[in-house]
């Protein structure tokens, strides 16, 4: 009996993906003001040195949501946020 490693899903990765999807869905329904409040809470968590993997994931999703919303208003501002996101990811990896 052989197993195809491409079909095997790491349970922890799957849980993280589901958690990310739920957080992303949550961010999409927030008003811009609530999105800003969520950002402030995330900044407080980062300053408090909470779980880094979880914070990195939340930060990435939050910045994605900001970028999506800003693209509708200002392409230049959205590009600035994308650049900031790339810089943060480069420093964290």
In angstroms, the CA 27 to CA 69 distance is 11
What tokens does 90 get? 């480069």
| Of the candidates 76, 77, 71, 44, the residue with the CA atom closest to the CA atom of residue 58 | 44
Residue ranges per structural domain of the chain = 5-92
Backbone angles phi, psi at 69, to 5 degrees: -70, -40
Taking the CA atoms of 25, 28, 34 and 35 in sequence, report the sign of the dihedral they define.
positive
Q: pLDDT under 50 in the chain at which residues?
A: 1
């Amino acid at each position: 009996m052989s197993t195809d490693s491409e079909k095997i899903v790491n349970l922890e990765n799957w849980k993280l993906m589901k958690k990310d999807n739920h957080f992303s869905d949550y961010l999409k329904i927030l008003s811009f003001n609530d999105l800003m409040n969520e950002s402030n809470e995330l900044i407080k968590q980062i300053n408090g040195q909470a779980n880094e993997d979880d914070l990195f994931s939340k930060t990435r999703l939050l910045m994605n949501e900001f970028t999506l919303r800003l693209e509708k208003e200002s392409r230049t501002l959205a590009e600035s946020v994308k650049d900031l996101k790339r810089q943060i990811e480069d420093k964290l990896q």
